[in-house]
Structure 1
Amino acid sequence: MGCGASTSPTPAMPDVRYDASNLATRIGSGASCDVFLGTLLPSGEQVAVKLLDKLTTNPKRRAVLAEDIEGARTEAALLKQLQDCSHIVRLVGFLEDDKKAVTVLELVSGGDLLTAMEQGYREDDVKRLFAQILVALSACHELGIAHRDIKPENILLSRPRTDARVVVVDLGFAKMRSKGLRGRFTSNLGSPMYKAPEIWDRDVRARGYDGAASDMWSAGVLLFLMLSGQFPFRCQPAMKAFKSARDYARMQRKLLRTAVLAGDVHFDEAVWADVSPAGRALVSSLLRTDVRKALRGPMLA
């Protein structure tokens, strides 16, 4: 299950050809690109083809097109360095011209973790799956790479079973630690429910935060969700008190930020009574707001 992240210079990827005339089946869609089921030539291997259209007329996509193109290049470059880890999606190749940027990836066909969790997991199953997520994060962190968007939608399964291989995907927000600010990050990125307190805190963020530690906070939220089927923070105001969905969302975000910064983790005892003390202790260790006291480092994996 272990991963050996390569620290040697990464060789150039071999030329990749896929059947561009047969991309009819969309298997995913994001803010900046679409993912299609593709066929590798000449082997016939099925792959996932992530297509970013540089000529898009979608106004939302055009507004961030330059940033998304750079993100696609960065993702491919980082995936090249992580090829030895079987729990991070394998890069088959990256192609770019004036019209498009194409990332060709291994096809992981068992669905995402969010969908799988709808059936519920026994704690032993959670332990097995979560251990693989930690292996993937450890491989990233050993190379100074922060994923910055750990959530169940970005974790795929090789098959829809509890003995599946876990594969972490979507390194679009991922970044290599730089030399500035002592190798720390300052960007406000990530999905709100999974963002660490140091990212919510503007002052702390301006001084720079540890990307690996923030990934581990996100992993802690994910583990909480896997074990209980609930999020750790209460942030659901009464809908009838608001005139619009926008006002409701604004208040929900405010409540979430307050709860995260305070470390106000809510354990529903009726649910957590079935979770072992060790499982609960691990969640609590990951979700400590003080990074110095939290179990939020690569050593956990």
Structure 2
Amino acid sequence: YLVMQLVSGGELFDRIVEKGFYTERDASQLIHQILDAVKYLHDMGIVHRDLKPENLLYYSMDEDSKIMISDFGLSKIEGAGSVMSTACGTPGYVAPEVLAQKPYSKAVDCWSIGVISYILLCGYPPFYDENDAKLFEQILKAEYEFDSPYWDDISDSAKDFICHLMEKDPLKRYTCEQALQHPWICGDTALDKNIHESVSAQIKKNFAKSKWKQAFNATAVVRHMRRLQLGTSLEGPSQITPTIGLKLCHSENFLAPGTIFSI
């Protein structure tokens, strides 16, 4: 028998859209919870490798419900001398070093938190293209902007926070511990201006349920990734899962798929 926790509060984006009032401070508090949880995971030697809004669930329908991190199907437990280099994750959230086929570390999770923070403040992703090759090129170069008018009312502190997490060089990228010390998270620089109308409109436009749940054709993904030379790694043969986004992974040392970690 497997005894699992019931998570009934729904997905993060649904809750934001349903709100009538949503601010930078709300986003800051959400990211604070995520950073706390991922820091704990990292301290335990666990790298999630697929952090994205769809994997952030509310524990209950209560207004003050905590956020839960779910879907540990691609997670890996770091071992002595082990090297992570498998191309895995979801397009749009994966770190540049993963796409570059370089050995990578838990810093890939911090990059993903930066992408999530970006989306929580504007409602659209920092990297997007219908063509995956062009999307990956944007990510590899860490090319993103704070577009007007969507970012006009967002604080410089929030932008600075995101820039430290979405840093191309993983050695310069903030760790969870460093991010938790940023004034936007632990200070009072997050603004209280209501940004709900703009953010919710963009979320509904860019993250419709039909898009979240759209399954990728596994054969097409394999063929495409071979063209991009991302189909092999030091960890062993890659395996494709026809699921949300792109998931290339080696099955060794994963936590159980569907595991939910409480923040």
User: What range is the shorter-chain TM-score in?
Assistant: 0.5 to 0.7
State the alpha-carbon separation in 2 of the partners of residues 119 and 198 from structure 1: 36
- In structure 2, the residue matched to 1:262 is 141
1:146-197, Cα deviation, whole Å (9 max, x unpaired): 01110111111124566321111111111110223xx431111111111000
State the alpha-carbon separation in 2 of the partners of residues 262 and 162 from structure 1: 39
The structure whose Rg is larger is: 1
2:34 is the alignment partner of 1:151: no
Report percent identity of matched pairs: 33
- In structure 2, the residue matched to 1:178 is 79
> 3-state SS of the aligned residue for 2:3?
strand
2:15 is the alignment partner of 1:116: yes
- In structure 1, the residue matched to 2:218 is none
Structure 2: state its 5+ residue gaps. 181-263
1:44-85, Cα deviation, whole Å (9 max, x unpaired): xxxxxxxxxxxxxxxxxxxxxxxxxxxxxxxxxxxxxxxxxx
Number of residues of Structure 1 aligned to a counterpart in Structure 2: 178
- In structure 2, the residue matched to 1:222 is 116
Q: Name the CA shift for 1:294/1:109 in 2 (closer, same or farther; >3 Å).
A: same
> 3-state SS of the aligned residue for 1:231?
coil
Alignment of 1:211-290 (within 5 A): 212-236=106-130, 252-290=131-169
Give the counterpart of 2:95 among 182, 193, 196. 196
State the alpha-carbon separation in 1 of the partners of residues 177 and 99 from structure 2: 22
Aligned-partner residue type, residue 255 of structure 1: K
> 3-state SS of the aligned residue for 1:284?
helix
1:200-227, Cα deviation, whole Å (9 max, x unpaired): 112x1xxx211x1000101100000001
Give the counterpart of 2:172 among 262, 286, 293. 293
State the alpha-carbon separation in 2 of the partners of residues 273 and 143 from structure 1: 39
> 3-state SS of the aligned residue for 1:300?
helix
TM-score, normalised by the number of residues in structure 2: 0.63
Shift of 1:256: 0.9
Structure 1: state its 5+ residue gaps. 1-94, 96-102, 237-251
State the alpha-carbon separation in 2 of the partners of residues 296 and 265 from structure 1: 20
TM-score, normalised by the number of residues in structure 1: 0.56
- In structure 2, the residue matched to 1:89 is none
Q: Name the CA shift for 1:278/1:163 in 2 (closer, same or farther; >3 Å).
A: farther
Aligned-partner residue type, residue 113 of structure 1: L
1:229-257, Cα deviation, whole Å (9 max, x unpaired): 01112424xxxxxxxxxxxxxxx211111
Compute the RMSD of aligned alpha carbons.
1.8
Aligned-partner residue type, residue 229 of structure 1: G
Q: Name the CA shift for 1:137/1:213 in 2 (closer, same or farther; >3 Å).
A: same
